Amino acid sequence: MVQNQYHQPVMANEVVDLMRPVSPRLMVDATYGGGGHTRALLKAFPELEIVAIDQDPDAIAQGPAAATVRLVQANFASIDQIATEICGEVAADGSPTSCIDGFLFDIGVSSHQLDEPERGFSYRRRGPIDMRMDRDAELGADTIVNEWPVDDIADILWRYGEERLARRIARAIVAARPILDTAQLAETVADAVPAAVRRRKHPAKKVFQAIRIAVNNELGSLELGLEAAIRWTRPGGRVLVISYHSLEDRIVKRRFAAGTSGCECPPDFPVCNCGRVADLRLPVRKPIRPSEAEIAANPRARSALLRVVEKVGS
Phi and psi, residue 282, nearest 5°: -100, 105
Residues 6+ apart with CB under 8 A from 176: 184, 188
The per-residue pLDDT for range 172-216, each reduced to its tens digit, is 999 999 999 999 999 999 999 998 888 788 889 999 999 999 999
Give me the mean pLDDT over the 149-177 stretch.
Answer: 97
User: b or e along 199-215 (b: 16 or more beta carbons within 10 Å of the residue's beta carbon)?
Assistant: eeeebbbbbbbbbbbbb
pLDDT exceeds cutoff 70 at 88: yes
Output the pLDDT for position 150.
98
Least confidently predicted of 1-5, 47-51, 149-153, 220-224:
1-5
What is the C-alpha separation between 98 and 111, in angstroms, rounded? 33
**What's residue 63's pLDDT?**
75
- The predicted pLDDT at position 314 comes to 55
Residues of the chain within CATH 3.40.50.150 domain(s) are 12-112+218-311
Whether this model's pTM surpasses 0.85: yes
- Pure H helices in the chain: 12-19, 36-44, 57-61, 79-87, 111-115, 141-147, 150-161, 166-175, 182-192, 195-200, 204-216, 218-232, 246-260, 292-297
Closest residue by Cα to residue 81 from 37, 51, 110, 102: 51
Predicted pLDDT of residue 268: 72
In angstroms, the CA 303 to CA 56 distance is 23
State the pLDDT at residue 277. Answer: 79
Local confidence band at 1 (pLDDT 50, 70, 90 cut-offs): very low
| Range(s) of the chain covered by CATH 1.10.150.170 | 126-216
Tell me which architecture the domain covering 126-216 has in CATH: Orthogonal Bundle (1.10)
The tens digit of pLDDT for each residue in 99-120 reads 999 999 999 787 777 778 889 8
pLDDT band of 3, cuts 50, 70, 90: very low
Element (H, E) at 98: none
Q: Which of 234-248, 250-264, 300-314 has the highest mean pLDDT?
A: 234-248
| Cα separation, 81 vs 136, whole angstroms | 20
CATH class name, domain 12-112+218-311: alpha beta
